[in-house]
Copies of this chain bind each other. A is one copy, B any other.
Amino acid sequence: MKRLQNFLQQLGADEAGARMYALMERLYPICRSITGPGVRQTLDILQEFLPLQRNEVPTGTQVFDWTVPNEWTIRSAWIKDPAGACIVDFKRCNLHVVSYSTPVHGQMSLAELKKHLHSDPEHPDWIPYRTSYYQESWGFCLTHRQLLSLQEGEYEVCIDADLLPGSLSYAECVIQGNSPTEVLLFAHTCHPSLCNDNLSGVVLLASLGQYLRRCHLNWTYRLVFAPATIGSITWLSRNQEGLDRIKAGLIVSVAGDPGSITYKRSRHGSALIDRAAAHIVRQGEKPGTILPFSPWGYDERQFCSPGINLPIGRITRSPNGAYAEYHTSADNLDLVQAGHLQDSLHRIMQILHVLESDRRYQNLAPFGEPQLGRRGLYRMMGGYTNIGALQHALLWVLNYSDGLHSLLDISEMSGLDFPTLQHAAELAEKSGLLSPQPLSLEHCAIPERNLPLHQHTS
């Protein structure tokens, strides 16, 4: 079994991005919603890659303040113009029908029809994505250009769909680590043919799960594939007794567009997951963005509701709603690229690596500096201006391994990267200079914002 960090360098050789993209191509045509056969079909495909525990929660089940709704099955939906030509067809694009539309079949005037048509004037060539989960109605979405071109006359509309008692489907994959303490990873599965939001998150979680299953892990990882909002609420409602085990987590979504990586903090603000993710997101050639928590977005709304309040943040590239193609037919296979998916996977694995590795050490020779030279830990010729990052890292971990500061603390203080400090700590531990303290996902005694900022002088 390898450690997670060993896989970090081989994502490129594995063609991880291309593999995720290929899976997304398979999932893209399926019409998903918060319930129904499209979700189950999606989970069937994921099960080829990961062992999944499947769950079906019956319609009518009370989940906190909500009730699991009827299941929606859509077979076909179309509009014929006065001349009998089929001008809008669900088969061509499943965004054409408002999700959860009730069945309808009849003739109506253009004026009557227009009450059920949705378009986006700002993007006249794109079909918008609309839903009506909790109010029975029906509707079609089409490009604004097409809407404007419609002539007066009698139109025939048909939505061949069921809205009947059934169940809500979700799946989990639990990957055991040494400790029962859990890290939760969540991707929402309820969107139809929309790639970035959120097939990108689905395929990323699938790929991540495959790597995690090959790792020696300290923590237990729980991957959840469920519909947004009602899905996370259902999951939370049915797993209340196990929530105490969850000490970190990420909502993964919008992971394939060209935007830079974005981390949105948990409601805690400076839990270990927040600090680890912020640390990683700030790094690299294209540093990302760190957002504070807000109660608007994806399923962090539920995981960070005041009665739940788990230390779970959110990883995206562009935030929800912050890219033009959001919730339109332009969120397609062209928008998402394999390279972006792979970069997102790399970032998340780096974050999990910090969770797996961060710890405090105790300096066993704390009076003055220990003599590193005779232990082969320091260059023997003195007088140089620049001693190099590993030498600096050694001095930093020795000085701050006082039982209070973890490697992540020291990384933030020193500006040195986490792997270098980890390497230095392991060298010092082998030399008997450092004693490791127990691993923990709750060791953030020193809030990030109170740490002094340091720059190491070269």
Contacts and interface: CB of A to CB of B under 8 A. Distances in A.
A180 interface: no
A5 interface: no
Nearest to A304: B399
B457 A295 contact: no
B131 A383 contact: yes
A105 interface: no
Contact of A456 (B267, B296, B452): B296
Given A374-B134, A381-B131, A383-B327, A367 B292 contact: no
A371 B301 contact: no
A443 to B, nearest CB: 18
Contacts of A392: 296
Given A130-B383, A134-B380, A65 B296 contact: no
A134 to B, nearest CB: 5
Given A233-B368, A296-B387, A306 B401 contact: yes
Contacts of A307: 363, 366-368
A370 interface: yes
> Chain A's interface: helix, strand, loop or mixed, by majority?
loop
A135 interface: yes
How many protomers of this protein does the assembly include? Answer: 3
Interface stretch (A163-171, A318-326, A349-357): A318-326
A128 interface: yes
Nearest to A65: B370
A369 B302 contact: yes
A64 B132 contact: no
A129 B383 contact: yes
Contact of A65 (B365, B383, B402, B457): B365
Q: Which 10 A-B pairs have the closest CB atoms?
A: A307-B366, A295-B399, A135-B380, A131-B382, A307-B367, A295-B395, A306-B402, A233-B368, A321-B385, A65-B370
14 contacts: A64-B368, A66-B368, A131-B382, A132-B381, A135-B381, A233-B369, A292-B453, A295-B369, A296-B387, A301-B395, A306-B366, A307-B368, A320-B457, A327-B383
